[in-house]
Structure 1
Amino acid sequence: MSDHLNSAATEDVASSAREASAPPRDGKPSTILLNDADDVLIALRRISPGEIVSEGVVAIDPIPAGHKIARRPIDAGAVVRRYNSVIGVASAPIARGGHIHVQNLAMSTFAQGHTFGEDIRPTPVASVQRTFDGYVRADGRVATRNYIGILTSVNCSATTARMIADHFKGRLSDYPNIDGVVALTHKGGCGLDARIEGIEALRRCIAGYAAHPNFAKVLMIGLGCEVTNLDGVLGGSAGDALVIQQSGGTAATVRAGIERIEASLERANNVQRTPVPASELKVALQCGGSDGYSGVSANAALGAAVDLIVAHGGTAILSETTECYGAEHLLTRRAVRRDVGEKLIARVKWWEQFAASHGMEINNNPSPGNKAGGLTNIIEKSLGAMAKGGTTNLVEVYDYAERVTEKGLVFMDAPAFDPVGATAQVAGGANVLCFTTGRGSAFGCKPTPSLKLASNTPLYQRMPDDMDVNCGTLLDGTETIEEAGARIFDLILATASGTKTASERLGYGEEEFSPWDKGIML
């Protein structure tokens, strides 16, 4: 695969997805064509051999829902396009109407041709500025939730932290403005040289959560001899600390922790929501358990909502570096400065080297569930994942769990494993999280509310207690991408104003705290 093939796609994926009109409202076609240049159709339902799926195209294989069908004969060695971008090379001849997947579509090593800034455009400005009802902290930070947090510097103090948090379960009825007392624990914090990247990433996560506006108070619990000692971690946040080895042991630390939190309840409860501009939104973008529809429906609709967030002066945090692999050129074209685009390319190259050092290739993604849903390789998955970022300019690239300060669309380096990536985004300051899924991922991310966007209607109907938004309306032909994006934007504002999400009602969000240790333990 040569480097000019993907870069020849002159539209970014979000725009391509917008042009992929939904099925007619008065009919229910069995397939959808995303771009006239594509070699594939996408099955909207399970298709049997012999079915006419499009003019001149008859299915010759069983085609699962979400999978690809050849629009035309494809020779072995020829490139295959989806979203008007190359997604791979035919590893065998493919007949018109044939099923295209892992059995006949291969990745080939290629060098991406990157350009910088050629697709930047003026940032749109909303004609009417929207607001949400948030909590404004004394220092001006804006919160969407009001938790008390218990954080740990090391796994050795995790049980103590949970004991303290468990004490307050069912005991906050007199404090209706407090969303809960939560212990966010982890498995690391020691056994590592203090200078390596994994420890620095953990420190950034702890510091970011300690400073998060969605916490009215933070109590840190340490052991006393760990690498991630508490010196300097809390910074100027509203936290304090207890060290087990200095507080008389576990039971004494639990008693002291309960006392400190009880002393803070009245003050933490003494808050009121007030209207704040939508520019105070910092929305994390995640996708997990993707299928062949994710890039067409849920990710594209979320991208339309992101454009509205940016138009209102807010921030959207795109992430999952290993799921932009092979599609990163779509972001470098939108980079406001060359150095911003080069930061992204540098992170991609780091990942290539990191994977190689562990005997892996970065393109070993997608997961088995992704493949079952119709995604053949990482490039196809990445092209669909890019749609979450909408169409506006890329203004900055951040390291893992680094504090996000820029307004607009930004990128944060992180793995594609959802808990690890979302943890970084929340540490960076995200006060709402939007999570798209085509397979049915279960997820939450306290203290930040997490909205779940289903890519297809059967999933939404199958898991009604887990999903907040049905984006299958785009496939069903009952809604346009712009209409779905506006609906999601409205729900983001409502969520930021206090409306509980499905994952919050189920109680998700404590176990998902998962700082990235980068795989090294001594």
Structure 2
Amino acid sequence: MKTVRLSSADNVVTAISQLAIGEEGASAAVPRGHKMATAAIAKGEAVRKYDQIIGYAADYIAVGDHVHTHNVEFRNVDTAYEFGTNLRPVTSREPATFQGYRRSNGKVGTRNYIAVLASVNCSATAARMIADHFTPERLADYPNVDGVAAFHHGTGCAMATNGEGFEALQRVMWGYARNPNVGGVLMAGLGCETNQIDWLVEAMGIEPGPLFQTMNIQDVGGIRKTVALGIKKVEAMLPLVNDTQREVCPASELTVALQCGGSDAWSGITANPALGFAVDMLVAQGGTGVLAETPEIYGAEHLLTARATDGAVGEKLIGLIKWWEDYTARNGGSMDNNPSPGNKKGGLTTILEKSLGAAAKGGTTPLTGVYKYAEPVTARGFTFMDSPGYDPASVTGQIASGCNIVVFTTGRGSAFGAKPSPSIKVATNTDMFKRMTEDMDVNAGRILTDGASVEDVGREIFKMILDVASGTPSKSEAQGLGDYEFVPWQIGAVM
């Protein structure tokens, strides 16, 4: 067979390989990963995949036709939501452990960084210069320190001091400062910016000390003096951060960011369901999975509300969906603007189809909490955090929320890393895995090419989570990725 059907209720199948006219009943050439109609679909009738609606026929679609953007249209979702109607019990498993860095507040890190945080774009160069000073040679005497990383961004000023944008940026700054993968923090500002360091310290109740230092370029007396002082401050932190050593910790201390990027038609068939199985294994250990990218669950949110532990959790998720519908409308966009050209080339036709595959990353356990962008995730189990679908901005929020490891599925092939949390890359198809083997950690394409089960690959992902959490470098880490993926979500007017 050269096609795969995901549900008996579907009126399309997906081509495992390129279909020529006549193959499998195709009336037109169907590219690999794209859909072919297996029943006549009248104009305006629903197109179904995963036993869910992924769009509507823009014109009559005959049996054997190629089904894609040329003959399928998008409509906003109009769903009657149910809460708590699909609550599956969490299956207990034998306790798993990893080697982590336990912090004084009880949290556990998978890495041990010193973070140099820029409060505003104006101090970005100073932050980068300070971090760049600490080469591997200069850190050789501190084997328990994974590095000195600069986190700089393009905002922090010309913004209102109240409202969603400012609050989100402050949550990100504080979230990175308290992420368990960070052992020491130096915050560097200019001095006159909107995002005042003193305000952040006061608002968050931070107590400056040996492992939390701040400074402003204007107060110190310029860039050169700021960089020199910053280097001295980090040098003083190094032996203190190095004193922390890895110890055996339960898998319940892992909070995993669930991401996908460069998605294709196989994302929802191989890698995402396999990651979902790994998340179920993690939740059974008492750990936490954090799904995000709100536009990329659009059209699948009803599947998540049915898993909400109560109505309040479900209503929070619906509130996010409505906010995004309004946000895109007032900016002249559509929720269907999300699928990228690469997504479409890979066979994804609408955001509804993309979302149904993306939601599979969350497994099957109850949805225990829904959070704002970069808000601390306090619930255990499977949770959701609001964010855009832009991977760097989304992961930035997840790390700020407390994620100490990232698992990132990709079909087209995405080069991604995000300090201070290591990123594991999961390929959806074997062709791309072989082409980008230096970047991919797991080949979920084996589900199609080698007869592996979703459960087999899910167990492989879970084992890799434990290994990478214990210090084994992921492939993105080994290639030095992660220094430029700190991208706080900019919401609101730039003034």
- SS of the residue aligned with 2:309? coil
Give the counterpart letter for 2:166 in structure 1: I
Q: Distance in 1 between matches of 2:188 and 2:144?
A: 24
- Listed as ranges, the matches of 1:310-459 within 5 Å are 310-459=283-432
Checking the alignment, whether the CA contact within 8 Å between 2:338 and 2:389 is kept in structure 1 is no
Cα 1:146–1:109 shift into 2, 3 Å: closer
Q: Distance in 1 between matches of 2:326 and 2:424?
A: 34
Deviations 1:200-235 (A, max 9, x none): 111100000011111110100011111110124244
Is 1:479 the counterpart of 2:446? The answer is no
Q: Distance in 2 between matches of 1:261 and 1:465?
A: 33
Q: Distance in 1 between matches of 2:110 and 2:272?
A: 23
Q: Distance in 2 between matches of 1:499 and 1:44?
A: 34
Q: Distance in 2 between matches of 1:282 and 1:509?
A: 18
- Give the aligned partner of residue 143 of structure 1: 109
Q: Distance in 1 between matches of 2:336 and 2:308?
A: 24
Q: Distance in 2 between matches of 1:275 and 1:300?
A: 29
Deviations 1:442-498 (A, max 9, x none): 111100000111100001000111111100011114210111111100000001000
Is 1:62 the counterpart of 2:29? The answer is yes
Q: Distance in 2 between matches of 1:267 and 1:239?
A: 12
- Listed as ranges, the matches of 1:28-427 within 5 Å are 29-51=1-23, 53=24, 58-126=25-93, 128-170=94-136, 171-234=138-201, 235=204, 236=206, 238-427=211-400
Cα 1:247–1:418 shift into 2, 3 Å: same
TM-score by length of 1: 0.92
Deviations 1:348-374 (A, max 9, x none): 101111111111122222111110100
Q: Distance in 2 between matches of 1:31 and 1:259?
A: 62
Deviations 1:410-460 (A, max 9, x none): 000000000000000000000010101101111111000001111000010
Q: Distance in 2 between matches of 1:210 and 1:397?
A: 22
Deviation of 1:196 (Å): 2.3
Give the counterpart letter for 1:476 in structure 2: T
Deviation of 1:110 (Å): 4.2
Q: Distance in 1 between matches of 2:398 and 2:200?
A: 18
Checking the alignment, whether the CA contact within 8 Å between 2:213 and 2:233 is kept in structure 1 is no
Give the counterpart letter for 1:443 in structure 2: F
Deviation of 1:98 (Å): 1.4
Deviation of 1:197 (Å): 1.1
Deviation of 1:138 (Å): 2.2
- SS of the residue aligned with 2:358? helix
Deviation of 1:31 (Å): 1.2
Q: Distance in 2 between matches of 1:162 and 1:421?
A: 22
- SS of the residue aligned with 1:387? helix
Deviation of 1:271 (Å): 2.3
- Give the aligned partner of residue 3 of structure 1: none
- SS of the residue aligned with 2:333? coil
Deviation of 1:93 (Å): 1.6
Checking the alignment, whether the CA contact within 8 Å between 2:88 and 2:364 is kept in structure 1 is no
Q: Distance in 2 between matches of 1:274 and 1:258?
A: 29
Deviations 1:73-130 (A, max 9, x none): 222222111000111111122222211001111123441111111111322221x100
Deviation of 1:267 (Å): 1.6
Deviation of 1:519 (Å): 4.7
Q: Distance in 2 between matches of 1:201 and 1:431?
A: 19
Deviations 1:285-342 (A, max 9, x none): 0111100110000101000001001011000000110011111000000000101000
- SS of the residue aligned with 2:467? helix
Q: In terms of mean alpha carbon deviation, does 428-437 or 358-367 score higher?
A: 358-367
Q: Distance in 2 between matches of 1:125 and 1:219?
A: 41
Deviation of 1:266 (Å): 1.3
Q: Structure 2: state its 5+ residue gaps.
A: none
- SS of the residue aligned with 1:348? helix
Give the counterpart letter for 2:102 in structure 1: V
Q: Structure 1: state its 5+ residue gaps.
A: 1-28
- SS of the residue aligned with 1:135? strand
Q: In terms of mean alpha carbon deviation, does 154-163 or 354-363 score higher?
A: 354-363
Give the counterpart letter for 1:358 in structure 2: N
Give the counterpart letter for 1:348 in structure 2: I
Give the counterpart letter for 2:192 in structure 1: C
- Listed as ranges, the matches of 1:491-502 within 5 Å are 491-502=464-475
Q: Distance in 1 between matches of 2:15 and 2:36?
A: 7
Cα 1:396–1:99 shift into 2, 3 Å: same
Q: Distance in 2 between matches of 1:196 and 1:387?
A: 33
